[in-house]
Amino acid sequence: MAAANILTVTGANFEASVLQSKVPVLVDFWAEWCGPCRMLAPLLDELAGEYDGKASIGKVNVDNEQDLSVKFGISGIPALLIFKDGEVVAQMVGMRSKKDLKAAIDSAIAG
């Protein structure tokens, strides 16, 4: 379940909420059964609050949104893609530190 500041991304809202976003969007491809995904969730909640208005955080449940997973070549989770102006500008797979995530988001904002 996504926190208040975190967008639940689906095939239906992907274009509007991610590709057409005015700010960079970090999209977390995750699943309920994925331990590292659950460990990452609190960090994403914190980042969503810290970057409110400067960047967005979204979550794609790979079990529910298989078409999106295939489209972006997701083979391992958690997979974190950062989109800016409709393009993937960064991609990370696996658990990451808050510092690494902030650096990637800051880079997308600056770029």
DSSP code of 105? H
Confidence of residue 4 (pLDDT cuts 50, 70, 90): low
Q: Answer for the pair 13, 64: CB distance below 8 angstroms, yes or no.
A: no
* CA pair distance 28, 77, nearest whole angstrom: 9
Token pair listed for 91: 């991609």
Q: Answer for the pair 57, 44: CB distance below 8 angstroms, yes or no.
A: yes
Confidence of residue 111 (pLDDT cuts 50, 70, 90): confident
Which is the catalytic residue, given 2, 37, 68, 104? 37
* All structural domains of the chain: 6-110 (3.40.30.10)
- Known catalytic membership, residue 34: yes
CA distances (Å), 41 to each of 23, 60, 95, 111, in order? 21, 12, 10, 26
* CA pair distance 85, 111, nearest whole angstrom: 11
Which is the catalytic residue, given 3, 23, 31, 34? 34
Does residue 78 have a cis bond before it (omega within 30 degrees)? yes
Note the pTM of the prediction, 2 decimals.
0.95
- Known catalytic membership, residue 37: yes
User: What pLDDT, in 10s, does the model give residues 37-94?
Assistant: 999 999 999 999 999 999 999 999 999 999 999 999 999 999 999 999 999 999 999 9
